[in-house]
Structure 1
């Protein structure tokens, strides 16, 4: 089941204080980026954040699940998705730990 655009808009509104955020539609779902760095996914109207050590410490009681079949587990954010301040802080601290996007080779 594809995610609904209004849920995607809601999540983007919740994390607007995390920096320059954008989404990219991928296979009927959405990747969430900051400065070209993929840090989260929205799949089946659920928010997933890439796991990091600092994110794990911040969340405390982590729930992990794969966003789609065959994917590595990510942090499933359900309870605090409506807490903009908490969610924005999770995104900010996760972005620090995630690697920079790989540079594409020119042909």
Structure 2
């Protein structure tokens, strides 16, 4: 299934395709502060609908994951990088349109221990 999503103000918009059967909650330092519920898709299943220039990027630590967010409204929309040995885009499921998040199971990931 194809899902559309965006930040609060709409400056960052995207599509992601796949089966959304669960979301992941990570307890690492950045994810716990953002409160994002994550859904991982392959880079081929993700399409940015707005220009790359409309997105801000934050990296930290080993700088392997690019945390993408809207510089206007501040909402974290997705992240890109190599996660657990494979290239991935991690969408903030809270930014997806028409999703009832309470109906999805939440998997907990211990990112603090990495």
Fold conserved (TM > 0.5)?
no
More helix per residue: 1
Q: Tell which has more relative contact order, 1 or 2 (C-alpha 8 A, sep 6+).
A: 2
Taking structure 1 as the reference length, what is the TM-score of the superposition? 0.34
Please give the TM-score of this superposition, normalised by the length of structure 2.
0.32
